[in-house]
């Protein structure tokens, strides 16, 4: 027994003593590789091409992303050119309805004097999304879609954008007016009790329809929303984009998806051995990461209302310690209590038989003002 303990202890010491940081020997030229990502819609739906550079995989708090300044355009074999609009931060917008029976190349010319050209790209016609829905399960709500591939569209990529309405823990219709030195009712454009937030998800979802009978992809899972999440507290919207891919593009996005899952986000460091259909014009051996596809993008939107998931209740950690102060702020203390804006009037206190309040009870602004975490401007597509 003593010998076994001794051997075990020795192993622990050796294992801990042999742990050293791994610093891979990487050529410095590989630390700033051009990354090109994009699926350009051929029917006029605004779509984006993203240009960026890789970075050292070792963490560096001082790092800030860098994006190339460039001129980017698409050219058909017949010679028609379609310049992309530079939106800044490496994003270039494409919004053209172009012939889908032609082949194209993408051209990139950077302000550093480098140029890049894509392989010949053939547009792919993406089938329509048959259905988008959700199903309640033991975890929450699973959003899914159903579609069907064909002989021209076998591999699919799905991305999505989420938007949801939410309310603060404590609702207030009042604000302090410094000029009047009084509490007034908020105007409609000043409301802080209903807001919207969301964004484009970094998730990449891939599937091959030929794996299924008749290429029928039934109830493909898109995302899972936990039942206590704020996203389901008022009303939730998801816009799903479906894109058909050729085999080469599918392989590229699968590698990118795996690296995204491993490294945290699509903007994380990417290994430079991911290649695609973009080549350097000056140096064929220069590594370039990226793949550009052309095709139709099919979209479908789903709304989920809180009434559809009753009795689930959202638990937002930001509001756990929120409460209405039980002390009444009287009129002569309005400026002192509410003047800084960090404390907000919430409940008017009116004596029996009187009309005007003698004061207000308040709460912290972060508990009452949803504009600190979102916007009170309703999106154009929103349906109540």
What does the alpha-carbon distance between residue 40 and residue 291 come to, in Å, rounded to a whole number?
11
pLDDT of residue 290: 86
Where are the chain's structural domains?
Answer: 26-125+254-296
Q: Tokens 């929303």: give the residue.
A: 225
**Single pTM value for the model:** 0.83
Q: Kindly indicate the confidence band of residue 60, based on its pLDDT and cuts at 50, 70 and 90.
A: low
What does the alpha-carbon distance between residue 28 and residue 35 come to, in Å, rounded to a whole number?
16
Condensed to tens digits (0 to 9), the pLDDT of residues 205-259 reads 999 999 999 999 999 999 999 999 999 999 999 999 999 999 999 998 888 787 7
pLDDT (mean) for 105-113:
95
pLDDT (mean) for 56-64:
55
Question: Among candidates 22, 108, 30, which has minimal Cα distance to 273?
Answer: 30
> Mean of the per-residue pLDDT values for the chain?
88
Does 25 score more than 70 pLDDT?
no
Does 73 score more than 90 pLDDT?
yes
DSSP 376: S
Q: Kindly indicate the confidence band of residue 32, based on its pLDDT and cuts at 50, 70 and 90.
A: confident
pLDDT of residue 252: 87
Edge-to-edge strand ranges of the sheet holding 115-118: 81-83, 70-76, 104-110, 115-118, 278-280
Q: Which of 283 and 27 is assigned the larger pLDDT? A: 283
Is 288 within 8 Å of 33 (Cβ atoms)? yes
Does 11 score more than 90 pLDDT?
no
pLDDT (mean) for 28-43:
82
> How distant is the alpha carbon of residue 362 from its chain centre?
35
Q: How many CA atoms within 13 Å lie on the side-chain side of 52?
A: 17
What does the alpha-carbon distance between residue 214 and residue 150 come to, in Å, rounded to a whole number?
9
What does the alpha-carbon distance between residue 175 and residue 182 come to, in Å, rounded to a whole number?
9
Does 147 score more than 90 pLDDT?
yes
Q: Which segment of 177-181, 215-219, 289-293, 319-323 scores lowest on mean pLDDT?
A: 289-293
pLDDT of residue 272: 43
pLDDT of residue 2: 42
Judged by DSSP in three states, 2 sits in helix
pLDDT of residue 337: 97
pLDDT of residue 55: 67
Residue 89 falls in which region: left (phi positive, over 0), alpha (psi -120 to 50) or beta: left
Does 378 score more than 70 pLDDT?
yes
Q: Tokens 């509410």: give the residue.
A: 338
pLDDT of residue 264: 46
| Beta pairing, strands 288-295 & 34-41 | parallel
Is 343 within 8 Å of 365 (Cβ atoms)? yes
What does the alpha-carbon distance between residue 241 and residue 219 come to, in Å, rounded to a whole number?
15
pLDDT of residue 67: 86
Report the length, in residues, of the chain: 384
Q: Kindly indicate the confidence band of residue 262, based on its pLDDT and cuts at 50, 70 and 90.
A: low
Condensed to tens digits (0 to 9), the pLDDT of residues 178-212 reads 999 999 999 999 999 999 999 999 899 999 999 99
């Amino acid at each position: 027994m003593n010998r076994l303990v001794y051997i075990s202890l020795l192993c622990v010491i050796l294992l801990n003593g042999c742990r050293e940081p791994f610093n891979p020997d990487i050529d410095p030229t590989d630390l700033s590789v051009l990354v090109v990502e994009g699926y350009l819609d051929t029917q006029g739906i605004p779509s984006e091409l993203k240009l960026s550079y890789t970075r050292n995989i070792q963490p560096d708090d001082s790092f800030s992303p860098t994006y190339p300044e460039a001129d980017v355009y698409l050219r058909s074999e017949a010679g028609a050119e379609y310049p992309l609009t530079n939106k800044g931060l490496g994003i270039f917008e494409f919004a053209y309805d172009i012939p889908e029976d032609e082949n194209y190349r993408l051209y990139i010319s950077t302000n550093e004097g480098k140029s890049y050209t894509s392989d010949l790209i053939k547009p792919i016609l993406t089938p329509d999304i048959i259905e988008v829905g959700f199903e309640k399960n033991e975890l929450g709500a699973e959003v899914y879609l159903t579609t069907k591939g064909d002989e021209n569209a076998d591999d699919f990529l799905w991305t999505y954008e989420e938007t949801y309405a939410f309310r603060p823990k404590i609702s207030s219709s009042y604000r302090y007016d410094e000029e009047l030195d009084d509490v007034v009712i908020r105007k409609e454009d000043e409301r802080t009790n209903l807001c919207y937030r969301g964004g484009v998800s970094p998730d990449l979802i891939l599937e091959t329809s030929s794996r299924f009978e008749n290429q029928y992809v039934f109830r493909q899972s898109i995302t899972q929303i936990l039942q206590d999440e704020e996203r389901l507290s008022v009303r939730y919207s998801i816009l799903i984009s479906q894109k058909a891919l050729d085999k080469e593009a599918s392989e590229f996005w699968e590698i990118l998806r795996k690296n995204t899952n491993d490294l945290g986000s699509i903007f994380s460091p990417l290994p430079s051995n991911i290649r695609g259909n973009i080549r350097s014009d000056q140096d064929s051996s220069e590594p370039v990461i990226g793949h550009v596809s052309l095709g139709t993008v099919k979209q479908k939107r789903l709304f989920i209302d809180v009434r559809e998931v009753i009795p689930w209740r959202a638990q937002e950690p930001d509001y756990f310690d929120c409460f209405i102060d039980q002390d009444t702020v009287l009129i002569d203390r309005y400026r002192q209590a509410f003047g800084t804006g960090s404390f907000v009037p919430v409940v008017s206190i009116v004596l029996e038989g009187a009309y005007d309040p003698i004061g207000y009870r308040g709460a912290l602004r972060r508990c009452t003002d949803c504009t600190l975490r979102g916007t009170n401007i309703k999106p154009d597509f929103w349906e109540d």
